Structure 1
Amino acid sequence: MSEEPRGGSELAGRFFDAAIGLLRRVRDEEPESITAAGTLIADTVASGGRLFAFGAGHSSLAAQDVVYRAGGLALMNLLAVPGVVGVDVMPATLGSALERVEGLAGAVLDTSPLRSGDLLVVISLSGRNALPVELAMNARALGVKVIGVTSVAYASETTSRHASGTYLKDHCDVVLDTKIAVGDAELGLDGVPAPFAPASTVVTTALLQAVMATATGVLADRGIEPPLLRSGNVDGGHEWNDRILREYGDRIFYRQA
């Protein structure tokens, strides 16, 4: 029989407890912001606007989770910045470097389909780097509504990396606070010099799905059928999705015309 790893199941249990605790905090402390964000998304859908989500590095995982997703709104598009979206770029450190480049956000928005009346979700754990700050700032100047998903704690415990000295949270119509501690590592262990076990992806993804559920409910309450996708792995799913994609094709950018 193999020897139980150091820390054993205790560490797994501690991580689950930490993640559950953060989820409870978000549920209990962010209901007004979740409602406001969901309502803003519903308003955009109802008025003919388009939805976009952006995240750099691992923050992109939460953005991707709400795009072309079974049970999700078909109108959510990924605002992708080459070299920044994930760790598939080589070297992976390039993505972190690009996120700190001032002026990049302007080029991204100038070549994107975003326009006045649309909505952009900007996800950045720290909210301190130039790219998410400028995306939010410049998008609002274009008449785009911005929902920021970030850990507000970073604004009081770190220094902004943007020339303005501001953070993502300072340039949003609605801010969703993930409650993640600075450093994004929930566990420590004697003899291990660095903290470990990040929970930001778990919490941010759940938070955004709560917002999408809220938006769906708001649309239904207004008598508007939410443009939802179904799983392609259930009978009739592909036919359902084909109808939705055709009906809203002018507001969807993740498929060819």
Structure 2
Amino acid sequence: MLRERFYDEMKKVLDKIEKTQGETIDKCAKVIGDSLVNNGICHILDTGHMLMYEGVGRTGGMMAIRPIRINFEVNNPARKRLIPGKENVYYDSIEGFPEFILGKANVAKGDVLIIGSVSGYNNMPVQLALKAREMGVKTIGITSVAYSSKIKAKHKSGKRLFEACDYVLDNCGIFGDAMVEVEELGKKIGPSSGIAASYLMWALQTTVVEYLISIGKEPSVYISNHLNNASAINGSAWENYEKFGY
């Protein structure tokens, strides 16, 4: 069954993450922890489908992982028509947009920026990483090295995300992301990147928590809103985050 094949392939990816990414996770956790205790902020900006929702504001997650959310909309309620040669424009390919984002966001020297992009070849994630590093911000890329390695970079430097960041967490996915071949469709289904990115993010957060505790700091974390007195407990934890930065 396709379901069992997906299970098998996904387990292989998670097993590879466990066997290959631990050392980098440890390094990233120390970088984040040291930033937080020195008045820094850990930001996350994901151009994909997972980390901005799964890794932020969740039960058991750190309050100190803060998203950079982009809301960009063009409204032009005109009649539909065919425009020959007109191409769709996406914000991750707009020259200069990464500088605008970092200029508007609360990002400063000594911070950490986690950038998520599975393919990692578009202009925005790469330029974000390069510009952030110029600002003195440590960068952590969450990407698929195998996938990205086979795609030509769109950034003028010729770099992809895994080549532009200080640290790289590899989601260990394959080229094209989907893992299960369906002969009847002539296509593969079942991408690994979402689950893998979540796995990496929570492994990273648990390691940051462990590191902070080891240096005598108590990180602020969310508890479930369904638990007794959750509002007061989370409110108190948020006050500690605002006061101490972790």
The ranges of structure 1 where at least 4 consecutive aligned residues each deviate by more than 6 angstroms after the TM superposition are none
- Measure how far apart 1:235 and its partner are: 0.7
Q: Render the CA deviation track for 1:140-197: whole Å, top value 9, x for unaligned.
A: 1111111111111134311001111101112222110111111111111222122111
The one-letter code matched in structure 2 to 1:73 is M
Partner of 2:228: 235
Query: How many angstroms apart in 2 are the aligned matches of 1:250 and 1:243?
Result: 11
Asked if residue 13 in structure 1 is aligned to residue 4 in structure 2, the reply is yes
Aligned to 1:53: 44
- CA shift, 1:118, in A, is 1.1
Aligned equivalents of 1:190 and 1:169: distance in 2? 32
Paired with 1:21 and 1:57, the residues of 2 have a C-alpha distance of 22
Deviations 1:76-130 (A, max 9, x none): 111112249xxxxxxxx96x82212221100111111111111110000011000
1:191 maps to 184
Contact 1:49 1:251 in 2 (8 A): no
Instruction: Summarize the Cα distance change of 1:229–1:33 in structure 2 as closer, same or farther, 3 Å threshold.
Output: same
Q: Within 2, Cα distance between the matches of 1:57 and 1:34?
A: 20
| Residue in 1 that maps onto 2:159 | 166
**2:80 alignment counterpart:** none
* Equivalent-residue separation in structure 2 for 1:195 and 1:247 (angstroms): 47
2:181 pairs with 1:177: no
1:45-97 CA-partner distances (Å, limit 9, x unpaired):
22121111011132xx223222112111101111112249xxxxxxxx96x82
Alignment of 1:80 with 2:69, yes or no, is yes
| Aligned residues: CA RMSD | 1.8
TM-score (ref. length: structure 2): 0.89
CA distance in 2 between partners of 1:65 and 1:42 (Å): 20
State the SS of the aligned residue for 1:246.
Answer: helix
SS in 2 for 1:99: helix
CA–CA separation in structure 2 for the residues paired with 1:29 and 1:176:
10
**Length, aligned pairs only:** 232
Instruction: Give the conservation status (yes or no) of the 8 Å contact 1:152–1:179.
Output: yes
Tell me how far apart the structure 2 counterparts of residues 146 and 125 of structure 1 sit (CA, whole Å): 16
Mark the runs of 5 or more structure 1 residues left unpaired by the alignment: 1-9, 85-92, 253-257
Unpaired segments ≥5 residues, structure 2: 74-86
